[in-house]
Amino acid sequence: MEVKTALIRDLESLLGKERVISHPTELLVYECDGLTLSRHGADAVVLPESTEEVSRIVKCCQGHQVPFLARGSGTGLSGGAVAAEGGVIVQMSRMATIIEIDYDDEVAVVQPGVINLHLSEATRPDGYHYAPDPSSQKACTIGGNVAENAGGPHTLKYGVTANHILGMTVVMPDGEIINMGGRHESILGYDLVGLFVGSEGTLGIVTEIIVKLTRNPESSKTFLASFNTVEAASNSVSSIIAAGIIPAALELIDALVIQAVESHLKAGFPQDVAAILLIEIEGLNATLSAQAGEIRNICHTHGATDFKEAKSEPERAQLWRGRKEAIGALGKVTPAFYTNDGVVPRSKLPEILEFDIETGKRNGLQVAHLCHAGDGNIHPIILYDHENETETKAAMKTSREILQRCIDLGGALSGEHGIGTEKLTSFSFMFNKTDEAQMMAVRSALSPSGKLNPSKIFPTGAKCGESKIRKTVAGGGWL
Amino acid sequence: MSETVTSPLSRTFHAEEKRLLQECIHCGFCLPACPTYMENGKEMDSPRGRLHLMESLLEGRMNLDSAFEEHMKLCLVCRACETACPSGVQFGHLMEATRQSIAEVKQKGRLERFLLQTVLPSHRWLSFLFTITRVIQILRLDKLSTVPPLSLLVPKKLRQLQLSLPTVPPRRFGRSYDVHYRAIRKQRGTVTLFTGCVMDHLFPHVHTATVRLLTWHGYDVTIPSDQACCGALHAHAGEKSMTSFLADQNISILDNCNSDYIVINSAGCGSHLKSYLTYIDSGISSRVVDLSELLAVIEMKPKAIGPTDPVAYDEPCHLLHGQGISTQPKTILEKIPEINLVPLKGSDRCCGSAGSYSITETEMSLKLLDAKMDDIEASGAAIVVTANPGCQMQLNWGVKRRGINVEVLHLAELLDKCFRIDPSYPTDPLVLD
């Protein structure tokens, strides 16, 4: 039986009953995002339709002293869009309008709930696209991309989300509405846009975003290179980068992932190989052939067994569908998996891939790879059975060992998924107490009450939720 | 998943269904493909959310309450999420299993039970009710029922149904005896045409056009007399015993016809029978094809001239998502000489018809229809082609509501019109006794 609290009644008077979700059954679906093992119940979910409404919701939550956070499509893989300490989820799915497309200034103004791919689809006929293309681009929102500073295969050439955001309208943790940045690059004052992008929704709720539009390349070529060992594939990646070539995308996919993809999606990946590289180059038509030849040579030098070009747009699209939806396809081969988001300097790629597989073996688990190889974002995927406690613990151990190794090699905890609730315990691998205190000082200045998206990013900043999380980690149920 | 919990779902979720449910890894790729999620932005009305609710109910974390039921009912079972899903989760199957469980626990309304159990499976009942409807339409009583005081007497759902129905033709297509049509000129093969219920009674002209097309292209066509409703609506409603009864009856009839192909020109029936056949592993499944699948492989004769007006193709969900058929109808249309095909934005999105959905979930259905009509108007099409009776009714109703000049045709009707330019094309197919 649902008992409406004063908070719910106030939210309903702001938005109407239809836009406030508070029934316990309905709230269950908001308990996790793309990371299913980190589950936390919210007290309410609200669906605002304007910046002003978001502001009123924020003020209402502060008035009731309850935590709150924004959520897009919930495709994130670090548990960033769950109510770790309960409270209110501000669901942005009804703020999904492309407000303006301006080709003269090469910008678009969008609401945060706009699906990443929808913006590129809207501008494609006119020869433009929105460059950051996370694998979940078919479903993730641009607001979520801003929060996590999302990457994607083509960020190798074009840069991550932060490189494509010019300005934003933000509802601050006290409900104040502020504008930052604009339609052009600016170097004056503090770079607030830079601060907010990647802040994992802990500093404010973005309600309008000015993004750069990127002109489509004159020409592009997509290649599929096959290898009999993962090592040969990763050595090719290092050599391509060392040769001074910057492909638009350079992805490594290993046999386990190929098997999952081909069991349902059928992208056309060869099934009798250890690894493939999906390589895309783009630019002026005249320059591509020489570059293609050079890449082909490098791959063959490292023992590529096959090197072929996608012959048509549908063939190219199918290869990319295979790559981008591979994570989802893993449901076919394993009851559960955990995607590690570690990063290493590109030269260390062969070393870390070998280490991952060895570590998995040592812990009795299989580790698959789906790497944004070009920028060293390795994405080892640890396969396990979530109903088997020993395996779950082993998976957690494997992931921590891999992350530790990434850091030792001069890399990072996360390339694009963020820390969220997921990497709280490994935060200290990368940041010391002073680093954390500096970041916490920024957060405390902007969000003094700490009610906005608590228990994310910082292990010591977390309050009651943190002990809950830690406890589950110790029990092996959470990863 | 704990095995000790007895969930209301456990009767229809066996090991296989539980395994299928596990294939969802919560990636969320299905969200933007789901018409109801895109309309109201609520996770409970997304495929991932619905699967999450199913799982929670199965795990005993919640009860089969009205909220659960509401979100399951709001699903169109358009299966667009299946096309979007990287893991190939068979959402439609899981939703049907869920609705079976709901049907076991909660009894349906009297009118719904009467329609599903008595009317749809019976050509007599259908003829009787459609004849009354025809009389009402001729006397313009249907218009009368929309204004007070009559509107107060007729139930809202019934009024909705009346309004959305097309003009009822004088007689249905099927007969009480088997009918055989002979191939024109050289015989290429044999076909059994599945006629269905709504299609048989409300769209006999589509069946006639289909027969003319098939005989003209060299097929003998048989129409077995005892065929019944395919049972798709029953499956969607969770009526398990009636679903199996109808499917078995149809399969035994179709199995007796030794034709090369069993052609279905209704996407909904085709999708249902095909998936039913997969589960019972019947020998006839390899012969069941949608009309467009068959027409795509035979060489269409060249004299056909397309309409000069712009044509758009709106993909029926149960053709595109249910059967994975998309290029065939498009290729057939593209091959029509001088056709002016225009792109239709959102042609892969449900029009809101979804079987009886337009009656049971009218509000959402109308929102989706409005979005569809906006796209149709923006496309500039004067002819919209579809391949399913439900879509045809819904789109026709959308056209009527807007008062715009757009013709809605089944693919078979459009092709039939194009071929008529040839003097040797049959006006009536040859009937063999």
Which residues, numbered 277 to 296 in chain A, qualify as contacts with chain B under a Cβ-Cβ cut-off of 8 Å?
Answer: none
Query: Residue B27: its chain A contacts at CB < 8 A?
Result: 34, 75, 136, 139, 327-328
Which chain A residues have a beta carbon less than 8 Å from that of B89? 331
CB count in 10 Å sphere of residue B186: 7
- Model confidence pLDDT, tens digit, residues B49-100: 999 999 999 999 999 999 999 999 999 999 999 999 999 999 999 999 999 9
Q: Do B25 and A331 touch (CB under 8 A)?
A: yes
Distance CA A433, CA A31 (A): 31
Mean of the per-residue pLDDT values for chain B?
A: 90
In terms of Cα–Cα distance, which of B426, B353, B345, B422 is closest to B391? B353
Of A29, A34, A261, the CB nearest to B43: A29
pLDDT at site B255: 83
The enclosing H or E element of B314 equals none
**Which chain B positions have a beta carbon within 8 Å of A325's beta carbon?**
29, 86
Assigned architecture for domain B15-105: Orthogonal Bundle (1.10)
Q: Tell me whether residues A387 and B1 touch, CB distance under 8 A.
A: yes
Domains belonging to chain A, first-starting first, are 98-215 (3.30.465.10), 219-408 (3.40.462.10)
| Per-residue model confidence (pLDDT) at position A3 | 59
Task: Give B140 to chain A, closest Cα distance, Å.
Answer: 38
The reported pLDDT for the residue numbered A162 is 96
Which chain A residues contact residue B68 at CB under 8 A? Answer: 25
Q: Which CATH class is domain B179-297?
A: mainly alpha
Question: pLDDT tens, B307-322?
Answer: 789 999 999 999 999 9
8-state DSSP, B119: I
The chain B residue lying nearest A20, using CA atoms, is B42
Does B87 sit within 8 Å of A25, measured CB to CB?
no
Whether A365 contacts chain B with CB within 8 A:
no
- Closest chain B residue by Cα to residue A77: B27
With a cut of 70, list the residues of chain A below it in pLDDT: 1-3, 460-479
Interface predicted TM-score of the whole assembly (ipTM), two decimals: 0.92
User: B43, A91: Cβ pair inside 8 Å?
Assistant: yes
* Helix, strand, coil percentages in chain A from 3-state DSSP, rounded to 5: 40, 20, 40
Q: Do B86 and A337 touch (CB under 8 A)?
A: no
Tally helices (H) and strands (E) across chain B: 23, 9
A342 to chain B, closest Cα gap in Å: 19
Q: In the structure, what pLDDT confidence band is assigned to residue B157 with cuts at 50, 70 and 90?
A: confident
* Position B302 confidence tier, pLDDT thresholds 50, 70, 90: low
Q: Give the helix, strand, coil percentages of chain B, each rounded to 5.
A: 50, 10, 40
Cβ–Cβ under 8 Å, residues A78 and A423: yes
Q: Chain A interface, mutation test: which of B30, B45, B87, most A Cβ atoms within 10 Å?
A: B87
Report the pLDDT value the prediction gives residue B105, as an integer from 0 to 100: 87
* A332/B31 CB distance under 8 A: no
Within 10 A of B431 (CB to CB), how many other CB atoms are there? Answer: 12
Range among B32-41, B222-231, B284-293, B357-366 with highest mean pLDDT value? B32-41
Separation of alpha carbons A58 and A54, rounded Å: 6
Cβ–Cβ < 8 Å for A258, A264: no
How high is the pLDDT of residue B256? 83
Looking at residue A2, what is its pLDDT?
A: 55
Is the CA virtual torsion B65, B66, B71, B77 positive or negative?
Answer: positive
B272 pLDDT exceeds 70?
Answer: yes
Chain A residues within an 8 Å CB radius of B31: 73-75, 139
Does a cis peptide bond (omega within 30 degrees of 0) precede residue B149?
A: yes
pLDDT of residue A466: 37
Pairing outcome for strands A306-309 and A249-254? unpaired
- Within an 8 Å CB–CB cutoff, is residue A434 touching chain B? no
Sequence letter at residue A164: H
- pLDDT average, residue stretch B180-196: 92
pLDDT for B335? 87
Of B29, B67, B68, the CB nearest to A136: B29
Nearest to A28 among B48, B52, B88 (CB): B52
| One-letter amino acid for residue B29 of the chain | F
Domain boundaries, given as residue ranges, for chain B: 15-105, 110-164, 179-297, 311-419
Strand partners, B263: B193, B289
Is the CB of A98 inside 8 Å of chain B's CB atoms?
Answer: no
> Any chain B CB within 8 A of the CB of A28?
yes
* CA angle, B322 then B324 then B329, to 5°: 110
